[in-house]
Chains A and B, each alone.
Chain A
Amino acid sequence: MNKEQVLKQKYQSLVTTYQGDLFRYAYWLTGDRQVAEDILQETFLRAWRAIDQLNEIKAAKSWLITILRRENARRFERKQLQLVDIDTEELVDHDSDNESNQQQRQLRRAIMMLASEYREPLMLQIIAGFSGEEIAELLDLNKNTVMTRLFRAKNQLKLMMNSDSQEKLNDAQ
């Protein structure tokens, strides 16, 4: 097998292993499937062009996440985001026939309401499975800051969900 074939094999194994996590990470980062697809294309294009620089396959996931985060930052440099023409009025949910679906929607809404400085470490922990140290390295923060942000993110989620439930309880009474 020549060098080019080896690199291609290495690249394609990166795609098959990490594209799912990276796509979901981009989706939850941007909130838009099309933008997430674009970012993923750019990320893997850059990864392929720099594939020679990836020496340790163990470091591949954080390497790809770093490229993806840079691509997302470039998106803001390039242009203002297009506005979505569908209104974002909060869905009014008076009742639900299925409690767990309702809880999922509450959780989704609560996540989207988190400040990005809290949401991103949470996504890196839950989607990518990174430890506190790894998140700290990726986000260029110290570990205590990461732990504090994770602690606050989860606390805020619990509080938002509890207050939603309490409101609904009060409405029902």
Chain B
Amino acid sequence: MTHNKHYRIAAADPNCQDKDFLAAIASDPLLAAQVEQTQQLDNELSFLFDSPQPTQLLTNSLLDICNTESAEPAKSKMTSELPAKKNNRFGRIFAIAASFAIAAVSFTVLQSQQLSHSDLSTHALAHSEHGASFAGVINERPSINSVNYRLASFGAKFSDDLTNLSWFNGCSFDGISSLHLVFAGKQGPINVFIVPKGSNFEFQSQYSNATYQGIGHEYKDAYMMIVGLKNEKLAPFQQKIDHAIHWNI
């Protein structure tokens, strides 16, 4: 029973400092080997769990909390503190009318948003912003073979000299299955989107928003949209990736 217990501890908590356990390790080479094996797994796990790191911006804002907030619980207004609702017929009619108005406005806004989504640059910027919190945060160092496996469906492949790729995955551009790759740039991540033609996309070769700038390149059967931070030099990167990609394999 104790023997089994020690083996379970070795597999669960190899750094356990119980005297019985330490004595058992000293007298049982198989148990010692099990401890070593689990420690090795724990080391691999701790290496993996060691990222990501908080940004300096986050650290500063955490440190600043004590300067901007009072060290007492905020007194939130409870529902019971709100004035009692009056059973007002006019109020209900007004509320129903307002709901219709809100629904109509929402529908119009949604329609206009859907229209703007056929704009390639809007998609590229939105995907870059959305992906900033997870895409390439951990350098997964994907192999060129796994990227080319996905790229084959687009009729393309990358040559072996593709460097600094940290992450890739599929994404959707207005329902068109596309590929999102993240490279390590000099100023931050560089997002590359490979979007097959097949929808009436509006194409722009240059675009930007408050944070990002982008360039686009049109190939025979696909677009390549490259997005980086404002101070990133994208043109040399674009030349490099254009050199590395081969179409119609």
A contacts, CB < 8 Å to B:
4, 7-8, 11-12, 15-16, 19-20, 23-24, 27-28, 31-35, 37, 40-41, 44-45, 48-52, 84-89, 91-98, 101-105, 107-108, 111, 122-123, 125-127, 131-132, 147-148, 150-151, 154-155, 157-158
Q: Which residues of A contact B180 (CB under 8 A)?
A: 86
CB pair B13–A97 under 8 Å, yes or no, is no
Selected from A20, A87, A107, the residue in CB contact (under 8 A) with B171 is A87
- The number of residue pairs between A and B whose CB atoms lie closer than 8 Å in the complex comes to 173
Task: Give the contact stretch, choosing among B77-85, B126-134, B230-238.
Answer: B126-134
Asked whether any CB of chain A lies closer than 8 Å to the CB of B8, the reply is: yes
Cβ distance B158 to chain A, nearest Cβ, rounded Å: 13
Cβ distance B73 to chain A, nearest Cβ, rounded Å: 5
CB pair A92–B11 under 8 Å, yes or no, is no
Instruction: Mark out the residues of chain B between 47 and 102 whose CB falls within 8 Å of any chain A CB in the assembled complex.
Output: 47-54, 58-59, 61-63, 65-67, 69-74
Q: Which residues of B contact A8 (CB under 8 A)?
A: 66-67
Cα distance, A8 to B54, chains bound together (Å): 21
Interface digits, B123-142 against A, CB 8 Å rule (1 contact, 0 not)?
00001001111110110111
Selected from A12, A24, A31, A85, the residue in CB contact (under 8 A) with B172 is A85
A interface majority secondary structure: helix
Asked whether any CB of chain A lies closer than 8 Å to the CB of B222, the reply is: no
Identify 8 new A-B residue pairs, CB closer than 8 A, beyond the known A34-B132, A93-B145, A125-B42: A7-B66, A8-B66, A50-B73, A95-B145, A101-B143, A123-B49, A150-B13, A151-B12
Cα distance, A77 to B73, chains bound together (Å): 20
Cα distance, A151 to B38, chains bound together (Å): 10
CB pair B149–A27 under 8 Å, yes or no, is no
Q: Which residues of A contact B127 (CB under 8 A)?
A: 85-86
- B50, B143, B145 pick with most chain A CB within 10 angstroms: B143
With contacts A40-B62, A122-B45 known, is A33 near B143, CB below 8 A? Answer: no
Q: Which residues of B contact A105 (CB under 8 A)?
A: 140, 142
Cβ distance A125 to chain B, nearest Cβ, rounded Å: 7
Q: Which residues of B contact A89 (CB under 8 A)?
A: 169-170
Cα distance, A131 to B143, chains bound together (Å): 37
Q: Which residues of A contact B50 (CB under 8 A)?
A: 24
- Of all chain A residues, the one with the shortest Cβ separation from B11 is A151
CB pair B149–A154 under 8 Å, yes or no, is no
Cα distance, A122 to B38, chains bound together (Å): 13
- B73, B132, B142, B144 pick with most chain A CB within 10 angstroms: B142
Cα distance, A32 to B141, chains bound together (Å): 19
CB pair A147–B8 under 8 Å, yes or no, is yes
Cα distance, A7 to B49, chains bound together (Å): 31
CB pair A45–B131 under 8 Å, yes or no, is no
Cα distance, A151 to B5, chains bound together (Å): 11
Selected from A45, A52, A86, the residue in CB contact (under 8 A) with B69 is A45
Q: Which residues of A contact B73 (CB under 8 A)?
A: 49-50
Q: Which residues of A contact B109 (CB under 8 A)?
A: none
Q: Which residues of A contact B13 (CB under 8 A)?
A: 125, 131-132, 147, 150
Cα distance, A150 to B45, chains bound together (Å): 13
Cα distance, A105 to B13, chains bound together (Å): 24
- B62, B73, B169 pick with most chain A CB within 10 angstroms: B62
CB pair A95–B143 under 8 Å, yes or no, is yes
